[in-house]
Structure 1
Amino acid sequence: MNTPPVKSTPFNFPHMTGKELAYIAEAQLNGQLAGDGPFTKRCHEWLKDNSGCVQALLTHSCTAALEMTALLLDIRAGDEIIMPSYTFVSTANAFVLRGAVPVFVDIREDTLNLDEEKVEAAITSRTRAIVAVHYAGVACNMDRLLMIARIHGLFVVEDAAQGMMARYCGRPLGSIGDLGTLSFHETKNIVSGEGGALLVNDSKLVQRAEIIREKGTDRSRFFRGQVDKYTWQDVGSSFLPGELIAAFLWAQLEEARNITDKRLAIWQRYHAMLEPLEAAGILRRPIVPADCTHNGHLYYVLLPTARARLTTLNKFKRHSIGAVFHYVPLHSSPAGIRYGRCHGSLETTNLQSDRLVRLPLFIGLTDERQEQIVNLLATTSHAT
């Protein structure tokens, strides 16, 4: 079933291609339910072929993939990691777990991505990496971030949790920095319920990535016949998903282009219908730079004030429409204050996060429901 109940419009409703259950049954018949079976290998090859990365490794979540990046880069206590405050907690947690300090830098007004022009001033002798979070599937300015990283000898990690099938200057997100991470959580475009992937773009990191993912052992090399037994080699954990998750994901990857095109069509319809409201000064629509090819991951609007947002969300709730806000900036959270520090005022982060509303977007969202959402936006905003 790919449509939600008629009387409500949820924020998200996971799309099924129709092959998921058949592939799960096939995995069961194969007799291998643990990770790295035939479906996992298919997913790895697909991700490599479609991203151009050196190696792709499925993980049980994007959070796990981010935690692997911190281990791979040997992040240690006192190291500093530059990132936006406007992101999910996993971006920071992955490095805080290693004792590192997230350094929160302000975002751009247009894309809500890390402001590349404010990054260099935040670098200290303790800085080890820059984390580029591609918000809403719209790329950060990777050319500028990579240039800064080269000058200062830093790593670049792409948090491309929302970036599956999106591109920057023609390059898939997650394949541009030293390491990239993807999410297949049920709220994403391509889903497996829970799930993620680490994209390794530096060949020097591949072997250690496999070891870290397999509990610190060289088990992957053993199964390829490269060693006669596998042993504990390094730190690590159990980061790989089971084969049933990979089977579900394979059904999604086969239809990744079709899924993306359908989401983009819904995104474009919102964008066209909301143009008059933007022209009237009622809201601001998303901005996608010319060098970015987005993936229709989410559609958001920026309302004039935090009060306007509250009024709008309350009206959506009364009409059983699942419009929602997004991140509470990490620098304003108890853990963000405890573990991180800010560089600069983060004025844009505070302003944009207070005004942002995400609209329902899923395959199966009808034109009629989109029109209802847009009409409610127009009347609520005028009244505020």
Structure 2
Amino acid sequence: MMSQKVPFNWPHMTGKELHYIAEAHLNGSLAGDGPFTKRCHAWLEQKSGTAKALLTHSCTAALEMSALLLDIKPGDEIIMPSYTFVSTANAFVLRGGVPVFVDIRNDTLNIDETLIEAAITPRTRAIVAVHYAGVSCEMDTIMEVAKRHHLRVVEDAAQGLMSYYKGRALGSIGDLGTYSFHETKNVISGEGGALLVNDPDLKLRAEIIREKGTDRSRFFRGEIDKYTWQDIGSSFLPGELIAAFLWAQFEEAERITTQRLASWQHYHGQLETLEAKGVLRRPIVPESCQHNAHMYYVLLAPEINRQEILAKLKQQGILSVFHYIPLHSSPAGLKYCKTHGDLEVTVRQSEQLIRLPLWVGLTTMLQDKIVEVLCDAVN
């Protein structure tokens, strides 16, 4: 039994979070869109090249804003993978939309771009590209299909801050992109998210939807002398204390990513032998993708019992976990969504995947022990 328990995730603090929160408090600026929020917006816009970045209280909120911005109506279909978090689908179901699930790729576990076109019907309005583990979908193909069929593209880049596809930031390629800053992500604010508005024509309406359907943002910029209710919307913005915390993280985003990548690479090297034995498969990152080391997962061989492996790791104080239960097999998925094809890869990979502990501060000594325990378990 290991003397030290190893959590799956440990939220990283840069050391400046409380200082910036105190500064926001001292300024008497606690509601949304204060000085720290503006700094975060500018940072995101500079990093991604998006037309407009807007902090939200979660990535879920950013996805719900996307459904509103795209005017999703009852019966509209949205193509997406089933292997994703519930928010990806739920945001559109809330508007009466119908998620249409297609299978994922065997290598990256991202949506299989070669299956999208066959799933398009006259009711299809959009494609949602979920960048699993911060590794990009094949965005060139997805954008070409969308353009050919006059569809919108939303990037669910919840796990993708500081990841790139052919040099372009994830979240900045489709019409809209979404980020998560939940405490399980690389860069965090506890709860939090952001919407990237890459289509300039959607900028003003995004601001209105985010501010309860009012043109309040324009009023505070001095562009109008009063603000009023203009459109449907809700309160999607976070408070300034969240933004202050997040700003401390943004300042260290490069260092956080570098440290996580070092841990990811260490796992990758240590697990090469087990992959060669055929008992597991390591993550595959295409050459066109620069990832952010959001997670390190392995896919166990079909003959290995995943629950037994997880139990053996837990016995040694190591908290390793599986990931999504495919949405198409869930009660709500069966009720509100459709599938196109048999989703064979989705089912198989979701049943074989386990995620290993990965966080800033995880030592190579602990990683070596995790690999040692995993090796004993699978053998």
Q: TM-score range by the shorter chain?
A: over 0.9
TM-score, length basis structure 2: 0.99
Q: Which amino acid aligns with 1:116?
A: E
Task: Report the counterpart of residue 78 of structure 1 in structure 2.
Answer: 75
2:207 pairs with one of 198, 206, 210: 210
- The answer to whether the aligner puts 1:13 opposite 2:10 as a matched pair is yes
1:232 aligns with 2:234: no
Alpha-carbon distance in 2 for matches of 1:219, 1:336: 37
Contact 2:78 / 2:127 at 8 angstroms: preserved in 1?
A: yes
Question: Structure 2 regions of 5+ residues with no counterpart?
Answer: none
CA–CA distance in structure 2, aligned partners of residues 294 and 219 of structure 1: 37
Q: Which residue pairs with 2:127 in the alignment?
A: 130
Match of 2:343 in 1: 346
| TM-score, structure 1 normalization | 0.98
Relative to 1, partners in 2 of residues 1:306 and 1:72: Cα closer, same or farther, differing over 3 Å?
A: farther
Within the candidate set 281, 302, 305, 1:305 is matched to 302
Give the match for residue 47 of structure 2: 50
Q: Which moved more, 1:268-277 or 1:362-371?
A: 362-371
- Are 1:306 and 1:355, in contact at CA under 8 Å, matched by a contact in 2? no
Q: Deviations for 1:171-206, whole angstroms, at most 9, x for unmatched residues?
A: 000000000000000000000000000000000000
- Matched positions, count: 378
Q: Which structure 2 residues correspond to residues 156-305 of structure 1 after superposition, within 5 A?
A: 156-305=153-302
Q: Distance in 2 between matches of 1:272 and 1:25?
A: 43
Structure 1 residue 152 and structure 2 residue 183: aligned? no
Given candidates 355, 358, 362, the residue that maps to 1:361 is 358
Moved more, 369-378 or 121-130: 369-378
**CA RMSD in angstroms, aligned pairs only:** 0.9
The code of the aligned residue for 1:190 comes to: V
Identity of aligned residues (%): 71
1:33 matched to 2:30: yes
Distance 1:369 1:179 in 2: 39
Distance, in Å, in 1 between the alignment partners of 2:238 and 2:270 is 41
Q: Check whether the contact 2:304–2:378 (CA below 8 A) recurs between aligned residues.
A: no
Q: Give the partner amino acid of 1:294.
A: H
Distance in 1 between the 2:161 and 2:10 partners? 17
Distance 2:80 2:303 in 1: 24
Secondary structure, in 3 states, of the residue corresponding to 1:119? helix
- Equivalent residue of 1:180, what SS? strand
2:63 to 62, 66, 73: 66
How far apart are the structure 2 equivalents of 1:304 and 1:293?
A: 27
Shift of 1:364: 1.0
Q: The residue matched to 2:280 in structure 1 has which SS? A: coil
Secondary structure of the residue aligned to 2:271 is helix
SS in 1 for 2:105: coil
Distance 1:365 1:306 in 2: 30
**Partner of residue 119, structure 1:** 116
Which of 82, 90, 94 is the equivalent residue of 1:97? 94
Tell me the CA shift for residue 375 of structure 1: 1.0
